[in-house]
């Protein structure tokens, strides 16, 4: 987001508002300027949520931590364990600064649900599900196994591999890297020098060949075809 445009939008808003900022955009890896944007939102009384499915993990590796400077000023954050922490697919985490606000949004009451005793934490008051598997166990297991240093090293190696991948591909004629590789996302476009339609078709054909081969998995992204 552009801070000036962000501030301009708030001048036209009246009433409650939520600003959702990005830490590690899923295709590009880009991060918003939290240090500039969050104070603007806060000055207008907005709740600030950070979608950090990928990029919030940058906080774990000193070499990438500057990408998310100021992210701690937000009110809530979301990230995924099934990406860099390598937990089962549906492991995700919501972190909310105000425990009461979180609980008020999620608590479900019904006559057949037992009441929590005074001082007891009822897990169902913090998630939208009443029935779910124990996602906390694989999360604990991975953190216990890797430790702080192991998580940081995993992120470092993964980001380094993305940079190497982008460099080798970009050196090949007819291949273009269309994002600034800041985390572990590399957007590749085939047919540089061709017209847009032909380049898009060649990229789609290349993705199909890679998927058919099975050695590596690639997928397309909209907004100018890439993989």
All structural domains of the chain:
3-138 (3.40.640.10)
What value does the mean pLDDT take over residues 161-169? 96
Question: SS3 helix, strand, coil % of the chain, rounded to 5?
Answer: 40, 15, 45
- How confident is residue 226, by pLDDT bands cut at 50, 70 and 90? low
20-29, 68-77, 102-111, 207-216, range with the lowest pLDDT: 102-111
Arithmetic mean of pLDDT, 203-210: 93
Give this prediction's pTM: 0.86
CA–CA distance, 40 with 114 (Å, rounded to integer): 43
Which ranges of 27-135 would DSSP assign to H, the alpha helix?
Answer: 34-43, 99-106
Q: Alpha carbon 201 to chain centroid distance?
A: 28
pLDDT score, position 225: 47
pLDDT of residue 114: 80
In whole angstroms, give the CA distance from residue 136 to residue 94: 12
Q: 31 - beta bridge partners? A: 23
| Res 120: pLDDT | 83
Mean per-residue pLDDT for 171-196?
Answer: 93
Which of the pair, 215 or 51, is modelled with greater confidence? 51
Predicted confidence band at 2 (pLDDT cuts at 50, 70, 90)?
A: very high
| pLDDT higher than 80, residue 27 | yes
Q: Which of 187, 150, 183 is nearest to 64 (CA)?
A: 183
Q: Please report the beta strands in the chain, taking only residues with DSSP state E, as ranges in sequence order.
A: 18-22, 47-51, 76-80, 92-96, 175-177, 188-190
* Run of H or E including 60: none
Q: Is the pLDDT of residue 176 over 90?
A: yes
pLDDT, tens digit, for every residue of 75-124?
Answer: 999 999 998 899 998 899 999 999 999 988 988 888 888 877 887 888 88
Helix crossing, 3-10 with 34-43: angle to 10°? 10
The CA-based diameter of the chain, rounded to the nearest angstrom, is 68
Find residue 176's DSSP bridge partners: 189
Helix boundaries (H) for 77-119 = 99-106
Contact partners, residue 113, CB within 8 Å, separation at least 6:
124, 130
Instruction: Please state the rounded mean pLDDT for residues 36-52.
Output: 96
Q: For the residues 24-40, what does the mean pLDDT come to?
A: 95
Strand (E) or helix (H) holding 154: helix 136-170
Kindly state the percentage of the chain with pLDDT values over 70: 97
């Amino acid at each position: 987001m552009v801070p000036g445009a962000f501030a301009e939008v708030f001048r036209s808003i009246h009433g409650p508002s939520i600003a959702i900022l990005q830490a590690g955009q899923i295709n590009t890896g880009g991060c918003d300027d939290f240090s500039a944007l969050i104070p603007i939102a806060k000055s207008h009384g907005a709740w600030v949520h950070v979608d950090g499915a990928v990029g919030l993990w940058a906080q774990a590796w000193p070499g990438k931590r500057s990408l998310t400077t100021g992210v701690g000023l937000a009110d809530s954050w979301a990230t995924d364990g099934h990406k860099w922490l390598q937990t089962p697919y549906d492991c995700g985490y919501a972190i909310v600064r105000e425990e009461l606000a979180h609980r008020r949004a999620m608590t479900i009451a019904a006559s057949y649900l037992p009441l929590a005793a005074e001082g007891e934490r009822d897990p169902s008051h913090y998630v939208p599900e009443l029935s779910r598997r124990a996602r906390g166990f694989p999360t604990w297991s991975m953190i216990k196994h890797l430790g702080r240093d192991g998580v940081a090293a995993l992120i470092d190696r993964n980001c380094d591999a993305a940079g190497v991948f982008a460099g080798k591909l970009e050196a090949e004629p007819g291949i273009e890297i269309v994002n600034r590789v800041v985390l572990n996302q590399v957007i590749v476009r085939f047919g540089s020098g061709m017209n847009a339609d032909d380049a898009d078709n060649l990229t789609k054909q290349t993705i199909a060949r890679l998927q058919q081969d099975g050695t590596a998995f690639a997928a397309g992204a909209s907004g100018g075809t890439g993989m």
